[in-house]
Structure 1
Amino acid sequence: MARKISFDLPADETQPANEQARSSAPNRARPLLGLDRPLRQPSALGAISQSLGDISEKVKRADAIEQRLIEGQTVVELDPADVDNSFVADRMDASEEQSAAFREIIRQHGQSVPILVRPKPNEANRFEVAFGHRRLRAARELGIKVRAVVRVLTDEELVIAQGQENSGRTDLTFIERARFASRLEDRKFSRETIMAALNVDKAALSRLISIATRVPGPVIDAIGPAPAFGRIRWQELSDLLEDENNRQRALGAVQDPSFGAHESDKRFEILANALREKAVRARPEAWAATDGTHAAKVMRSGKKITLTFDDRVAPQFGDFVREQLQRLYDEYKRKGRDE
């Protein structure tokens, strides 16, 4: 299993929280710039992960991660307009019904747990979320301040905090985890960092990234989080999409306006079932002349029509038709203008 990378207090605890929040982050090499560096280094994060290893229940583990990250820190209230989402998305957009329900909980009971943010690199007086995106969104929509703990985090530390907190939640679906892993790799994070963020071993990480890259992005976007379907079903779908015809069929199907009218799980089922069905093979229809000669066969497939001539039945008839194509085309165009 991947080792967990965990979090410690900033070295200077005497500095007020609001001054810490707006101070410049240490000048470190950042993976988004394509520069590699070891994960072990002096930082705002330390060693709390060992105590998390024995927590078995996912929700308790996520709560523990949050508590350790914000333990002993001053909670400040920030204007949501000053806080940006993480530079790498981990969740797909929730439905309006889910967002409304979560927003109502915040409205009635307040925000009991603060979010974790960092001062945004190279942008004074702005912050970036490590975790708590839904709480931040609810605060924005309600027009209230968001309660937050501000800590100086590197890019790796941010995504590890973001990933470990979310990996402890039961509502982060398989495909959301897979896409999060794939996006981190696209941003040149090391496999070690991604394994720490998702709390998975090397083999599990490879499966996540493989499925996220084999299923076309527009198909994942159209299906959505599909909470009822895990690795096995997404693996089956990715296998079906190995066939180029199936890929094209899938990309066409998800663009149909009626596809988006269904719930996410239903969209997954509809597409998977459609790809399993073998396309009905088009059969040519014989064309008979008035004298009874079956001089040609006509086959329609999608938007294509194919004419087939058999010289054994009507010798050189195909050549004759080919010679008449220009005249027939001109007549077709004249008929179109007249109508």
Structure 2
Amino acid sequence: MTNPRERNQRMKSLFAGVNPDDLAKPAAPSVADADKRRVGSAAVKSMDRAFVSIEEENRRLHDQLLSSEVIVELDPERVIPSFVNDRLDIEGDRSFQAFVEGIKEAGQKLPILVRPLPDKPGHYQAAYGHRRLRACQILKRPVKAIVRALSDEELVKSQGIENSERLNLSFIEQALFALALKARGYSRELISEALGRKDGQKMAYISILTNAAALVPADLIRLIGPASAIGRPKWEKLGSLIKDGRLSPEQSNAVEGLVRSLEWEASDSDQRFGLVLDVLGRPVKSEPDITEIHVAGGHVIVARRSSAATKFAIPDDRIPGLSAWLVQRLPELVEEFQSTQRGGER
């Protein structure tokens, strides 16, 4: 707000062409002059109030301009996703197609938040609004955005604003997001804020999330998808079937066969979780242990030993009569074995 001295200086500048000596000459007082002085004083006060009001209004507008963020339209192909994703398979979500149609018909209602890429002028990185961004990319239309300079930590926190309002972020999406942030060295407090959690359970819940995500290979989780109806207990059950967070060769083969099946193609994410749980829950058929027994004459007898049985392969054409002899002697051999076992127990 201007003070009286500044206003007086501005008023003086308005009458800079007037001779001060002329103004200083005394004039005979009169009633009319007194009335004029009273009117003039009121006019000056009125002007002062007007100046103050205008300056306050200018200052208010200036503050609004500084605090407001202009929504701009960007080429969606020049916007990359956040460096840590909190969603699995946006396009695989069946509701996403309806979401795209909604934007096509009614337009984009809410802007996304992006930050400029310092090493790539004219390009940006999304903090939140990834579904809106992808929809605009598919529709090949500009995406409405707010551009804001953000540090990595501020970008992660901004994702939490959307996560706190989102109702359909699945358990495993939260878990993968938390584990990715933990791997980047972020604290549990920041991870909690990024997930939109500010209640008392935040610290313990972050540990639950990261532990669950570490049980199941990330590639397998992405194959399954968000599985919105699957909660912590079932994901932990699946994790208990996987040793050290890695599929065995037999498990990998079983999953690969499942993914190629028509049943997999016809299933949604929740159903795919059930299929994987069923496949990995079956007893794994281990490969038999093969032993080659070299005998006189350079012949080889092969023994295939599994958890259920041992089979011998005798080349009858090379050692004729051996199979028949073994079959005949087998009762004696078994009795000898049992006798040896009993002797060892004494």
What TM-score do you get using the length of structure 1 for normalisation? 0.61
Q: Secondary structure at the match of 2:230?
A: coil
CA contact (8 A) 1:219 1:250 kept: no
- Alignment partner, residue 131 of structure 1: 128
- Larger RCO (CA under 8 A, 6+ residues apart): 1
Deviation of 1:204 after TM superposition, in Å, equals 0.9
- Alignment partner, residue 84 of structure 2: 88
Deviation of 1:313 after TM superposition, in Å, equals 3.4
Deviation of 1:114 after TM superposition, in Å, equals 0.8
Equivalent of 1:168, from 145, 165, 174?
Answer: 165
- Alignment partner, residue 114 of structure 2: 117
1:46-95 CA-partner distances (Å, limit 9, x unpaired): xxxxxxxxxxxxxxxxxxxxxxxxx9421111111221111111111131
Count of residue pairs brought into register by the alignment: 241
Change (3 A) 1:307 1:217: farther
1:243-275 CA-partner distances (Å, limit 9, x unpaired): 899744442232221164122111111121233
Q: Secondary structure at the match of 2:72?
A: strand
Equivalent of 2:75, from 72, 76, 79?
Answer: 79
- Alignment partner, residue 192 of structure 1: 189
1:201-237 CA-partner distances (Å, limit 9, x unpaired): 2211111111111111221121111111011111111
Counting only pairs closer than 5 Å after superposition, residues 19-34 of structure 1 correspond to structure 2 as none
Tell me, which stretches of 5 or more residues in structure 1 are unaligned? 1-12, 21-70, 285-294, 317-339
The CA RMSD measured in Å over matched residues stands at 3.9
- Alignment partner, residue 270 of structure 2: 265
Aligned-residue sequence identity (percent) comes to 39
- Alignment partner, residue 276 of structure 1: 281
Deviation of 1:148 after TM superposition, in Å, equals 0.8
Give the counterpart letter for 1:89 in structure 2: N
Tell me, which stretches of 5 or more residues in structure 2 are unaligned? 1-60, 290-300, 315-325, 334-346
CA contact (8 A) 1:240 1:276 kept: yes
Moved over 6 A (4+): 13-17, 243-246, 280-284, 308-312
Give the counterpart letter for 2:216 in structure 1: V
Q: How many angstroms apart in 1 are the aligned matches of 2:85 and 2:139?
A: 22
Q: How many angstroms apart in 1 are the aligned matches of 2:279 and 2:236?
A: 16
- Alignment partner, residue 221 of structure 2: 220
Deviation of 1:185 after TM superposition, in Å, equals 1.5
Tell which structure's C-alpha radius of gyration is larger: 2
1:249-303 CA-partner distances (Å, limit 9, x unpaired): 442232221164122111111121233333468999xxxxxxxxxx9975578xx
Please say if 1:313 is aligned against 2:330: yes
What TM-score do you get using the length of structure 2 for normalisation? 0.60
Change (3 A) 1:244 1:308: farther
Deviation of 1:132 after TM superposition, in Å, equals 0.5
Q: Secondary structure at the match of 1:123?
A: coil
- Alignment partner, residue 180 of structure 1: 177
Change (3 A) 1:96 1:216: closer
Compare the two structures and name the one with the higher helix fraction.
Answer: 2
Give the counterpart letter for 2:78 in structure 1: D
Q: How many angstroms apart in 2 are the aligned matches of 1:117 and 1:279?
A: 48
Deviation of 1:164 after TM superposition, in Å, equals 3.6
